[in-house]
Structure 1
Amino acid sequence: MRNKVTVVGAGNVGATTAQRIHQLGYADVVMVDVVEDLPQGKSLDMLESGPVIGTDALITGSNGYEESANSDVVVITAGIARRPGMSRDDLLLTNMRITTSVTEQVVRHSPNCIIIPVTNPLDAMVQNIYESSGFPRERVFGMAGVLDTARFRTFISQELNVSVEDVQAYVLGGHGDDMVPLVRYTTVGGIPISELMAEEKVEQLVRRTRQGGGEIVQLLKEGSAYYAPSAAITQMVEAVLLDKKRILPACAYLQGEYGINGLCVGVPVKLGAGGMEQVIEIRLTAEEQAALQGSAASVQELVEVMNQARAGA
C-alpha cells in the first residue's frame, strides 16, 4: 500500500511539488485548492503522464479535504505569494489567517499526519501552524533551509566550476535577509571553502544567497520561485516516507537548543519516519551565535505581531 501525501495549494509551488512526488511513484497524492476545478484539472493532467514516466501512483484534485483524509504527510503551500517590492513581512497576517484555516481542516481529516509548511513568511507560518495544530514539534517543521542551502551550493559550484554534488553547506536562521549561511562548515569535496576562494567572494555569495528569493521575484516580475522550492520540499517528504534519517536544515520549534526557546527557527535536524526526530546542535562561534540570535529576533517580531492580531480579533 502506497503512502498518501496531500499538497494544499495548487499554485506553482504546490502543483510542481505534487508533480515531483507523484513522479517518484511510491505515494498517492491529493492536491487541494479553493479555486474550483483548478486542482482537478492539474491533477488529471499529471495522472495522464503516468504511462509515460512509468508510475502507477494516483494523483487527485479536490476543493475540499475529504479526499485528503488519513494522509501521512501534508505539505501546506496555500497563501498569497510575494510580489515585486513586497517583503515577506507584508504577507504575514493574510497568510496567518489562511494557514490557520487550512491547519484546522488538516488536523480534522489527518490527525496523525506530519505537516510541512512552506507558506511565507516561512518561520512565522511554521510557528502559527505548529501552535494551531496542537501537534508535537516532531510533526510540524518547515521547508526553507534546504532551499537556501541549495541556492548557496549552486552559487559556489558556479563560481568554482565544480559539481554541485561536491558542495556541502548549511544555512541556518530565518528564511529572510538575515539568514545565516555557515561559511565555516561549507566545503567542496571536503575542502573548506576558505581554501578555495577569497573572503570577499564568499561574502558576495552569502549576500546573493540571502537575496536569492528576491532576485527571482525581480526577474519573473510576477510570482516567485517554485522549481527549486518544490525540489527541496520533495527531498524532505522523501526523507520522511522512506525513513532516510537525513540531516537537513529545517525550520523547527526549538526548546532551548542554540539558546532559543519557544520559537520556530531554521537549524539542522534529522528527518525520518517519526518526522523531525532530532535537532542537531553544532558548535557555533560567538559571531555565528550572535547572527543566529539576530535572525531569531526577526522571527520573534513577526510572532508578536501575530499574537497581537489574535488578541485583537
Structure 2
Amino acid sequence: MKVTIIGAGAVGATAADNIARKEIASEVVILDIKEGFAEGKAMDLAQTASIEGFDTKITGVTNDYSKTAKSDVIVVTSGIPRKPGMTREELIGTNAKIVGGVVKSALEVSPKAVIVIVSNPMDTMTYLTYKIAAEMGISKRKVIGMGGALDSARFRYRLGEALGVAQSDLHGMVIGGHGDTTMIPLTRLATWNSIPVSRFLSAEALKEVSDKTMVGGATLTGLLGTSAWYAPGAAIGQVVESILRDEKKIIPSCVYLNGEYGQKDICLGVPVVIGRNGWEKIVTLRLSNEEKAAFEKSADAVRAMNAAL
C-alpha cells in the first residue's frame, strides 16, 4: 500500500512518522513545493527505521507528482494559516487555489486513491475537493475531511482530565464543523467504559469539558505560537490505518451530505464507517433537539464559508 502526504510541514511529517512506524503502508511519499524540504524530512525519518524497527519506504520529492502515482491514499496538509489582518475570505481564496491545484495534480496520477483533507478551513476545503473529485468522476466516498478524529481525541483528553481516568477507557465524539464555534462535542453520549459520563460529572463540569474542547486548537496555538502537530499527525494516521487495513472503524469525519442529518450539498462532520474504499456508511445518531439546533447552526456557519468559494 502506498500513501502520499502533500505538505512536509510539522503535521505532514508527523503523520508520515506515525504511518511508517506502525507499518500501515509499505511506502510513504512526502511531497512539498519547497526545494529539498520533503527530501530532508524523508531522509530524517528513514534514519529512524533501524531504531524503531520498521521497513516502510519513505521518499521525499519536490513538486513531482509522477512519484506519487498509484497511491492508495493521498493526504493533503497544504495551505497557509490565517495571518493577522487576513479575512476569512482571503484565507479561503488563497488556500482554495493551493488545495485545488494539488488535489487535481494528485488525482490525475492516482484516480483510485482515497483523499484525506487536513488543510484549513477544513470543511470548506473538503467541499472544494468533493467538487473537483465529482468533476473527475470520482466517488464522493473517496473524499474525507480529517477534523472529527482530531476533535474527538481532544474531547476524550478533556474528559479524562475532568474524570482523572485513562483516556483509553473513554468513548466520545465530536460532530459538526471543524471550528471553535461550529464543533459539537456530544457530552450526552460520551461514556466511561460504557457508562455515561454524566453519572460522574455535573452538567457544569460537562459544559466546561465541551467549552475547552471547542477551543482546543486555539489553546494550543496560543501556547505554541503555531498550530499543533502531534495529535493532528496521529489522527491522520488513525484515518489512514482504518482505510488501508479495512478496519471499518466509526470515525467522525467531514463528508458530503445529501439529506443525511437534514443537510444537503455540504461537507460536515458526522460519524462514518471508514474502510478500504473510503467512507462506507454514515451512522445516524438520534440527536436531542438542542443537538439538532447546534448542528443546523454549524451547517449555516460552514455554508457561509463555502460561499467564499
Query: Is the 1:8–1:31 contact (alpha carbons within 8 Å) kept by the matching residues of 2?
Result: yes
The SS at the match of 2:144 is coil
Unaligned stretches of 5+ residues in structure 2: none
The residue number in structure 1 matching 2:234 is: 231
**1:91 CA displacement:** 2.4
Query: Is the 1:5–1:29 contact (alpha carbons within 8 Å) kept by the matching residues of 2?
Result: yes
The residue number in structure 2 matching 1:29 is: 28
The residue number in structure 2 matching 1:253 is: 256
**Stretches (4+) displaced over 3 A:** 82-90
**1:178 CA displacement:** 2.1
Query: Is the 1:88–1:120 contact (alpha carbons within 8 Å) kept by the matching residues of 2?
Result: no
Query: Is the 1:6–1:68 contact (alpha carbons within 8 Å) kept by the matching residues of 2?
Result: yes
**Following the alignment from structure 1 to structure 2, what is the Cα–Cα distance between the partners of residues 81 and 229?**
15
The residue number in structure 1 matching 2:9 is: 11
**1:19 CA displacement:** 1.2
The partner residue of 2:143 within 140, 144, 156 is 140
- Going from structure 1 to structure 2, the CA distance change for 1:162 and 1:85 (only over 3 Å counts) comes to farther
The correspondence of residues 1-313 of structure 1 with structure 2, limited to 5 A, is 3-27=1-25, 28-63=27-62, 64-82=64-82, 91-134=91-134, 135-176=138-179, 177-221=181-225, 223-306=226-309
**Following the alignment from structure 1 to structure 2, what is the Cα–Cα distance between the partners of residues 169 and 262?**
27
Query: Is the 2:89–2:308 contact (alpha carbons within 8 Å) kept by the matching residues of 1?
Result: no
The SS at the match of 1:263 is strand
The SS at the match of 2:35 is coil
Query: Is the 1:83–1:224 contact (alpha carbons within 8 Å) kept by the matching residues of 2?
Result: no
Superposed CA RMSD in Å reads 1.4
**Following the alignment from structure 1 to structure 2, what is the Cα–Cα distance between the partners of residues 35 and 201?**
46
Q: TM-score, length-normalised on structure 2?
A: 0.95
Deviations 1:108-134, CA, capped at 9 Å, x for gaps = 110110000000111000001111122
Output the amino acid matched with 1:46.
L
**1:46 CA displacement:** 0.9
- Going from structure 1 to structure 2, the CA distance change for 1:191 and 1:83 (only over 3 Å counts) comes to farther
Deviations 1:2-30, CA, capped at 9 Å, x for gaps = x0000000001111111111112241100
Query: Is the 1:82–1:224 contact (alpha carbons within 8 Å) kept by the matching residues of 2?
Result: no
- Going from structure 1 to structure 2, the CA distance change for 1:225 and 1:11 (only over 3 Å counts) comes to same
- Going from structure 1 to structure 2, the CA distance change for 1:217 and 1:236 (only over 3 Å counts) comes to same
Moved more, 33-42 or 88-97: 88-97
**Following the alignment from structure 2 to structure 1, what is the Cα–Cα distance between the partners of residues 119 and 86?**
15
- Going from structure 1 to structure 2, the CA distance change for 1:228 and 1:90 (only over 3 Å counts) comes to farther
Output the amino acid matched with 2:163.
L
Q: Give the number of aligned pairs.
A: 303
**Following the alignment from structure 2 to structure 1, what is the Cα–Cα distance between the partners of residues 227 and 79?**
13
The SS at the match of 1:15 is helix
Q: TM-score, length-normalised on structure 1?
A: 0.94
Unaligned stretches of 5+ residues in structure 1: 307-313
Query: Is the 2:82–2:88 contact (alpha carbons within 8 Å) kept by the matching residues of 1?
Result: yes
**Following the alignment from structure 2 to structure 1, what is the Cα–Cα distance between the partners of residues 116 and 24?**
18
**Following the alignment from structure 1 to structure 2, what is the Cα–Cα distance between the partners of residues 195 and 26?**
38
Query: Is the 1:249–1:269 contact (alpha carbons within 8 Å) kept by the matching residues of 2?
Result: yes
Output the amino acid matched with 1:110.
S
